[in-house]
Amino acid sequence: MNAATADPRALLDEWISGARSAGLKEPTAMTLATADRDGRPSARVVLLRGHDDGGLRFYTNYESRKGRELDANPQAAAVFYWAALDRQVRVEGNVERLSLAESDAYFATRPRGHRLSAWASRQSTAIPDRAYLEARMREAEQRFPGDDVPRPPYWGGYRIVPERFEFWEGRADRVHDRIVYVRDGTGWRVERLSP
């Protein structure tokens, strides 16, 4: 692995592109770990929906477990793992909500069914059975019969503002490559770690 790359975001782009080129399913899938106010962790897989100088973006229901945890403890870790490529990227940082305009813009690009399901599902809440969810979906379809399905007020985006990236690449005899980027002012300090 080339440790000379000055910006970890460029290396993340390169590795995601490599996963796409390899035909891997969901190359932007990342395990997102959050913790509640008491530090009890939870993790789930979400999709990276873009990243830039500001951070890594993902979207969800603000009232979901992850949303409640991020409100109480706005820090997260994310892991990308591409087993077929023997590569992993870890990201850690503070989390902030995206603006309403950013959330609206992304929501408008989602397929109609995905926009309707955001209205039908109160993510992470208990429901009596599958039929209840299907009935909620039919209600959403009737409420918004055309393509104009607005973003629910409880749904939107977050940005992980990275403080640390770690790139791991498998090597023979478990002498793996591990390169860490740690935020240092406006730049990044780069270190190689022992595997």
* Residue with token string 């793996």: 176
Closest CA to 103 of 51, 37, 53, 155: 155
CA-CA distance, 194 to 161, in Å (whole number)? 26
Candidates 136, 174, 178, 192; catalytic one? 174
Is 174 part of the annotated catalytic residue set? yes
> Would you say 177 and 171 are in contact if contact means Cβ atoms under 8 Å apart?
yes
Calpha distance 160→75 (Å, rounded): 8
Burial of 116 (0-12, 13-18, 19+ CB in 10 A): buried
Catalytic residues: 174
